[in-house]
Amino acid sequence: MDETLDDLERQLDPRQFFRINRKFLARLKAIERIEPHFNGKLRLWLKHRPAEEEIFVSRERADAFKAWLNQ
Per-residue pLDDT of the chain (71 residues; tens, 9 = 90+): 678 999 999 999 999 999 999 899 999 999 999 999 999 999 999 998 887 889 999 999 999 999 999 98
Q: 3-state DSSP: the chain helix, strand, coil percent, rounded to 5?
A: 30, 30, 40
Quick one: pLDDT at residue 34? 96
Quick one: pLDDT at residue 2? 76
**Residues of the domain holding 54:** 5-69
Task: Say how many domains are in the chain.
Answer: 1
List CB contacts of 5: < 8 A, sequence separation 6 or more.
19, 22, 23, 25
What is the pTM for the complete model shown? 0.85
Quick one: pLDDT at residue 50? 84
